[in-house]
Amino acid sequence: MSPRTPVLAIGLTLALLATACGGAGEVEEGRTADLDVATGVTDDTVRIGTHQPLTGPAAPGYAQISAGAKAVFEYVNENGGVNGRRIEYLVEDDGYDPVRTIDVTRELVASDEIFAMLGGLGTPTHSKVVDYLNKEGVPDLFVSSGALMWNAPEKSPLTYGYQVDYTKEAKIQGEFIADEFPDEKIGFFYQNDDVGEDSRAGLERYLGDEIVEEQRYESGVTEIGPQIAALKKAGADVVVCACIPTYVALAIVESERIGYRPQFVVSSIGADTETLKGLLTEFTDGAGEDAVEELLDGLIATAYLPQVGMAEDPWIGLYRKIHEDHNKDGAFTNTTVYGMVQATLFAQVLKEAGRDLTRQSLLDALESREWAGPGLVPFAASKDDHGGFAGAMVTRFHAGGEPETLREPKVTDREGGAISGFELERPDPGETEFFDGG
Amino acid sequence: MASPAPRPAADEVRPPAGPPAPVGTRARWSTVPLVVRHLVLAAGALAAVLLLIAATDTVNTMRIAAVGYSVLAIAGLQVLIGASGQVSLGHGAFMFIGAYTVALLVIRLPMLPLWVNLLITVAVSAAAGVVVGGATARLHGPYLAGATLALAVGLPSLAVRFPELLGGGNGLAFTTRGAPPALAATVSTAQWQAAAVWFTVLLALTVLATVSRGRLGRRMRAVRDDPLAAAAAGIPVGRTKVAAFVLSACCGGLAGACQGYLLGTATPSSFTLALSLSLLAALVFGGMGSLWGALWGGAALVYLEVWAEDAAHALSLGTSVTNNLPIVLFGLILIVVVLLRPDGVHGAVRDAAGAVRRAR
Amino acid sequence: MDRFVDLTLNGAANGAVYAALALSLVIIYQATRVVNFAQPALALIAVYIAYSVSGLTGRYWLGFAAALLAGLLMGALTERLLIRSVHDRSPLSAVIVTLGLLLVLQGAAGMIWTNEPHSFPYPMDFRGRFSASDAFALVSVGTAAALVFALYRFTPLGLRMRAAAHRPEAARVAGVRVGLMLTTGWALASAIGALAAMLAVPPFVSPNVLDAVFVYGITAAVVGGLDNPFGALAGGVLVGLGLSYVSGYAGPELAPLACLAILVAVLSARPAGLFAAPSARKV
């Protein structure tokens, strides 16, 4: 206890007693944090952290993300680290409860003194620490959620998005459906939160009366029979599914149950075919791997990252190897790859920032150029656009084969802008600098 | 889960008492009115907490504040269960009400000072307490438990139903004022907020302790021990039960308000059944008999999880084991404490203190 | 109309599951006056054991039998090792012990089988508006309830169990091994809980999969009246139908609120549940 402590205590008491009369919600603009610091950086390590739901009702599926990221960091560290520094990656469990997110984030920032936050997961959770991270001057990179709010450079200058936001992705789905299924009736099945809301905003740019039925599910309520029955009754031939993998699988099982075979168009968050296969093994006609693939055959999905099924993709090749060396317990799924790409991107930026590392130099490096790496579409991280992956492609799953590309990757914005192609040289792992090597 | 069995008289809710004073002073001390005594104790406790806050880091400051509002919520539950014999499994519902009330007030009416917000929260929680207490006054034992459990599970879905007002599944986020400008250089926002939380909590505990020792407290205990005899003695059983519920709801609401104020958020996924059950577990863990039990329970609620998490990280085990170890440890501690010490941590501490005193 | 039929069938099948869980709670409550919060966790472990056994042998029904057996054993062990030592204390102690057990078992399930969801089959063909599986749920729960009723009503064992629960001292004097009877009650209840879980879990199993079902099960038990096995059945069906209509017509997010509404409606008319014994104490 410092000698100042008692004085401070008495001062506090007096101040409290003289009840503050100002409005509780009237907040003055705070100071801006000093970014020319290298908190969490030593000569040979750089410490970063994340909050993830590892236990509790929302945990299923998400633990793979940090496991994937961790595997990549281990690989990087084994190969000499980045600019002579090993990456220390701290994963804190928040159980998808914002109260715990706030606690573990403060612990990461104040006690563990992390250099940056990487890929904090979830909209309800991460939205509660964005202001704190920005105020404390902690770079808040590559948030694991497709909500629109991460891309607000004015309000949250240190926060950068990662996955394609729900609206952009839905616009691409909407245009695709309008072109390819012009005369069909469309159904929309969505998660009852910003996932559904933002997705609808995108779809409605291209689809109007074609949407004959909308049904929602509540995360945690696994009973979705009535919703699927309603979609069937409305005669929807195409069902857009803005859902997480468990609910995509539930929708497929439930449709199978009532003999309803619509064309599913699934958002990237739910289109993890390996996970879906695992969930559906017990609901096939025949037995074995083939039967499950049969059940998923023809599934249309949007993607902005390389897919596990793309056997020829050099990044998938590398990730599969990293997975086998460093993440043997887990499954190798698109969700794992999601975390792996996140880690790769971070290591790329760290490499670019150079040996002389501060938070400012990290952010400068991040905004310094167009990023090309494992992702299939350009990655927006500039002064005015913190949007992350800027678009998606449309693929179709084929039983026993590679996914077919129905639409080449395209980019768009979240407003009324057009959907357009782009120029992007996608480098092989060998051409990408994300560790020292040797 | 019938109504809890009658307990010995020594078990009644007691305010936190300082160390025993010499006989002469004690005699004089006991002539001081109860409220004043409690206020003096609360002021002492506040000073101690402020010293603690001033001496520790931000993370622990926040956790100490979290202990504060947890203590209040548990103390409220204690009044209901320990003193009036009604078992509620849904106290998280009142925290939900409190947190959302404060969130809405700060967002919609930013000009209101914090203490007005808290007073409004108390009023809203009291109203909720009247409704719930009134509706459940006829229920006993497990039926009350079932109804309150359904309340804890059902109420948060309101937030999802009315996303415009209550923010849907993502909840509400807001920022509150920190320390006044004059103090901003020496006192961090976290310290200021923690101090404000404990100030509120101790004030509320003072009221609670005073009421528990007064006429209402006696009536509640009479109703708990034997409702028929209490009725025969002219005590309005139904009204007393509702009063206990209201008192307890106010504590829960205020605790939720403090949590909302401290964290700047109100989100449905924070107010799960798990929260309500944890509060109950913490109460039994700390000890039902005394407000001190609420203190131990609150501390355990906040810190056990942190320690278990650290322990799990320290051991290098498989991912699945590490992730689930804290839950398992928490459950084990709960079982062991209840098996070994039915009177909770408070009972153990009291016995230990007694042993020390005798040894001297 | 079509939708109404759909929702009714759906609600009835779910109701059977809630009824089974409620039944298991009621049996334990009757035996030891404890609401067993560990019930979903015991049932969860039973289901995971079924998952492993079926996976190893490739036979669903072997797993099914293993689940019921595991439920039986775990129920007996819980009563013997934990509940008995707090039996003479306030009922709240027992509740907290079961809460602790819930956490331990849920965590253990995550440790052993991970927190990831696994595919878990329905007992029979799940296809169809009212599938073979739905029918199986109704029939198996109905049979279980009838057996329990027959056991309590017509067999000497049932008589001893009832005596041990309601008049332990008198039963002891009459030569009934009270402890054994209470253990039997817990074992029986947990086996029924395991049955409920085998019906409730498909299509996916993960450590928290039974949380919501358990809440609905408790609701069903309370609505029906904790002292009456038939009340549990009626409560289960009522809750199942009510939730199905509310989610179907008003929105799935309202299901928990509907649960509360049903409880309030029933309990304000009948404070001790629909099928309360007339002697229920009124305060």
Q: Which helix (H) or strand (E) holds A392?
A: strand A391-396
**Segment B315-329 mean pLDDT:** 81
Asked if residue B261 belongs to a domain, the reply is yes
Residues from chain C that touch A55, judged by Cβ atoms under 8 A, are 107, 110, 115
Q: What is the DSSP code (8-state) at residue B89?
A: S
- Inter-chain CB proximity A224 and C252 less than 8 Å: yes
- Inter-chain CB proximity A22 and B180 less than 8 Å: yes
Query: Could you give the angle at the alpha carbon of A405 between the alpha carbons of A402 and A408, nearest 5°?
Result: 145
More confident residue, B199 or A29: B199
Q: What six digits make up the tokens of A26?
A: 């009237």
Share of chain B above pLDDT 90, in %: 38
Counting as contact any 3 or more CB pairs under 8 A, the partners of B are: A, C
Q: Residue B289 has what pLDDT? A: 77
Q: Where are the domains of chain C?
A: 2-269
Cα B276 from Cα B255, distance rounded (Å)? 13
- Inter-chain CB proximity B111 and A23 less than 8 Å: yes
* Omega before residue C229 within 30° of 0, cis: no
Cα C105 from Cα B324, distance rounded (Å)? 10
C18 pLDDT tier (thresholds 50, 70, 90): very high
Pairing verdict, β A186-191 and A238-242: parallel
Q: Coil, strand, or helix at residue A220?
A: coil
A56 contacts A367 by C-beta, under 8 angstroms: no
* A49 backbone dihedrals φ, ψ, rounded to 5°: -145, 170
A3 touches chain B (CB under 8 A): no
The answer to whether domain A37-164+308-390 and domain A167-303 are alike in fold is: yes
Q: What six digits make up the tokens of A430?
A: 């060998």
A97 touches chain B (CB under 8 A): yes
Nearest chain C Cα distance for residue A299, angstroms: 19
Nearest chain C Cα distance for residue B161, angstroms: 7
How would you class A67 by CB atoms within 10 Å of its CB: exposed for 0-12, middle for 13-18, buried for 19 or more?
A: buried
Share of chain C above pLDDT 70, in %: 97
Query: Scanning the structure block, which residue is given the tokens 């007992």?
Result: C123
B237 contacts B231 by C-beta, under 8 angstroms: yes
Residue B46's closest chain A neighbor by CA?
A: A13
Q: What is the DSSP code (8-state) at residue C253?
A: G
Considering only CA atoms, which of A117, A61, A82 is closest in space to residue A272? A61
Q: What six digits make up the tokens of B164?
A: 């415009």
Residue A219's closest chain C neighbor by CA?
A: C253
| Spatial strand order in the sheet of A300-303 | A211-217, A186-191, A238-242, A263-266, A300-303, A391-396, A404-411
Residues from chain B that touch A1, judged by Cβ atoms under 8 A, are 51, 54-55
Residues 6+ apart with CB under 8 A from A276: A245, A248, A249, A252, A296, A299
Share of chain B above pLDDT 70, in %: 92
- Inter-chain CB proximity B147 and C85 less than 8 Å: no
A58 contacts C211 by C-beta, under 8 angstroms: no
> What CATH homologous superfamily does A37-164+308-390 map to?
Response regulator (3.40.50.2300)
**Segment A397-414 mean pLDDT:** 91
Residues 142-171 of C with CB under 8 A from B: none
Residues from chain B that touch C97, judged by Cβ atoms under 8 A, are 334-335, 338-339
- Inter-chain CB proximity B51 and A55 less than 8 Å: no
Cα C66 from Cα C151, distance rounded (Å)? 22
Residues 6+ apart with CB under 8 A from B207: none
Asked if residue B266 belongs to a domain, the reply is yes
A60 contacts C116 by C-beta, under 8 angstroms: yes
For chain B, the average pLDDT equals 86
Asked if residue B294 belongs to a domain, the reply is no
Q: Coil, strand, or helix at residue B82?
A: helix
Counting as contact any 3 or more CB pairs under 8 A, the partners of A are: B, C
Residues from chain A that touch C126, judged by Cβ atoms under 8 A, are 253, 256-257, 283
- Inter-chain CB proximity A279 and C119 less than 8 Å: yes
Q: Residue C72 has what pLDDT? A: 96
Residues from chain B that touch A11, judged by Cβ atoms under 8 A, are 183, 186-187
User: What's the number of CA atoms in the CB half-sphere (13 Å) around residue A341?
Assistant: 30
A67 touches chain B (CB under 8 A): yes
- Inter-chain CB proximity C252 and A331 less than 8 Å: no
Q: Coil, strand, or helix at residue A428?
A: coil
Number of domains in chain B: 1
Residues from chain C that touch B334, judged by Cβ atoms under 8 A, are 96-97, 99-100, 103
Residues 96-115 of B with CB under 8 A from A: 105-107, 109-115
Nearest chain A Cα distance for residue C116, angstroms: 4
Q: Coil, strand, or helix at residue C89?
A: coil
- The 10s digit of each residue's pLDDT in B350-359 is 888 888 888 8
Cβ-nearest to B170 among A28, A99, A193: A193
Residue B288's closest chain C neighbor by CA?
A: C92
Mutate which: C104, C118, C208, C226, vs B, most B CBs within 10 A: C104
Residues from chain A that touch C204, judged by Cβ atoms under 8 A, are 222, 246, 249-250, 279
- Inter-chain CB proximity B280 and C95 less than 8 Å: yes
- The 10s digit of each residue's pLDDT in B87-122 is 888 899 999 999 999 999 999 998 899 999 999 999
How would you class A311 by CB atoms within 10 Å of its CB: exposed for 0-12, middle for 13-18, buried for 19 or more?
A: exposed
Considering only CA atoms, which of B182, B263, B122 is closest in space to residue A22? B182
Q: Residue C152 has what pLDDT? A: 86
Cα B337 from Cα C100, distance rounded (Å)? 10
- Inter-chain CB proximity A230 and C3 less than 8 Å: yes
ipTM reported for the complex, 2 dp: 0.88
Residues from chain C that touch B5, judged by Cβ atoms under 8 A, are 89-91
- Inter-chain CB proximity A102 and B192 less than 8 Å: no
Instruction: Give, in order, the Cα–Cα distances in Å from C67 to each of B305, C10, C64, C197.
Output: 32, 25, 5, 9
Total length of chain C: 283
B34 pLDDT tier (thresholds 50, 70, 90): confident
Q: Residue A438 has what pLDDT? A: 55
Q: What six digits make up the tokens of A185?
A: 């009736």
Report the 10 Å Cβ neighbour count for C217: 30
Cα C63 from Cα C53, distance rounded (Å)? 5
How would you class C78 by CB atoms within 10 Å of its CB: exposed for 0-12, middle for 13-18, buried for 19 or more?
A: buried
Q: Coil, strand, or helix at residue C277?
A: coil
Cβ-nearest to B171 among A13, A22, A124: A124
Asked if residue B89 belongs to a domain, the reply is yes
Cα B219 from Cα B237, distance rounded (Å)? 8
Contacting C with CB below 8 Å, chain A residues are 54-57, 59-61, 63-64, 192, 216-218, 220-227, 229-230, 233, 246, 249-250, 253, 256-259, 278-283, 331
**C261, pLDDT greater than 50:** yes
Asked if residue B13 belongs to a domain, the reply is no
B40 contacts B210 by C-beta, under 8 angstroms: no
Nearest chain B Cα distance for residue C113, angstroms: 8
- Return the percent helix, strand and coil in chain C, to nearest 5: 75, 0, 20
B12 pLDDT tier (thresholds 50, 70, 90): very low
Instruction: Give, in order, the Cα–Cα distances in Å from C31 to each of B90, C79, C211, C232.
Output: 25, 11, 24, 15
- The 10s digit of each residue's pLDDT in A193-225 is 889 999 999 999 999 889 999 999 988 888 888
- The 10s digit of each residue's pLDDT in C112-127 is 998 889 999 999 988 8
Asked if residue B70 belongs to a domain, the reply is yes
Mutate which: B270, B275, B302, B307, vs A, most A CBs within 10 A: B270
Cα B327 from Cα B336, distance rounded (Å)? 14
A237 touches chain B (CB under 8 A): no
Cα C240 from Cα A221, distance rounded (Å)? 14
Residue B276's closest chain C neighbor by CA?
A: C99
C36 contacts C187 by C-beta, under 8 angstroms: no
**C281, pLDDT greater than 80:** no
Query: Scanning the structure block, which residue is given the tokens 């990237």?
Result: A268
Q: Where are the domains of chain A?
A: 37-164+308-390, 167-303
Considering only CA atoms, which of C184, C29, A149 is closest in space to residue B143? C29
A391 contacts A411 by C-beta, under 8 angstroms: yes
Q: Which CATH class is domain C2-269?
A: mainly alpha
Considering only CA atoms, which of B287, B187, B214, B196 is closest in space to residue B35? B214
Angle, to 10 degrees, between the axis of helix C211-224 and the axis of helix C255-269?
Answer: 20
Report the 10 Å Cβ neighbour count for A18: 9
Query: Could you give the angle at the alpha carbon of A142 between the alpha carbons of A138 and A147, nearest 5°?
Result: 110
Instruction: Choose the weakest-confidence range: A78-87, A317-326, B207-216.
Output: B207-216
Cα B106 from Cα B177, distance rounded (Å)? 10
- Inter-chain CB proximity B284 and C85 less than 8 Å: no
Cα C254 from Cα B191, distance rounded (Å)? 39
Q: Where are the beta strands (DSSP E) in C56-145?
A: 118-119
Residues 6+ apart with CB under 8 A from C264: B135, B147
- Inter-chain CB proximity C219 and B1 less than 8 Å: no
Q: Domain of B252? A: 33-174+187-272
More confident residue, A31 or A312: A312
A111 touches chain B (CB under 8 A): yes
> Read out DSSP for C123-159?
SS---STT-HHHHHHHHHHHHHHHHHHHHHHHSHHHH
**Segment B268-296 mean pLDDT:** 88
- Inter-chain CB proximity C203 and A55 less than 8 Å: no
Count H helices and E strands in chain A, helices first: 14, 14
Cα C273 from Cα C34, distance rounded (Å)? 17
Cβ-nearest to B320 among C101, C110, C267: C110
Q: Coil, strand, or helix at residue B328?
A: helix
Q: Which CATH class is domain A167-303?
A: alpha beta
Cα A365 from Cα A359, distance rounded (Å)? 10
A127 touches chain B (CB under 8 A): yes
Report the 10 Å Cβ neighbour count for B158: 18
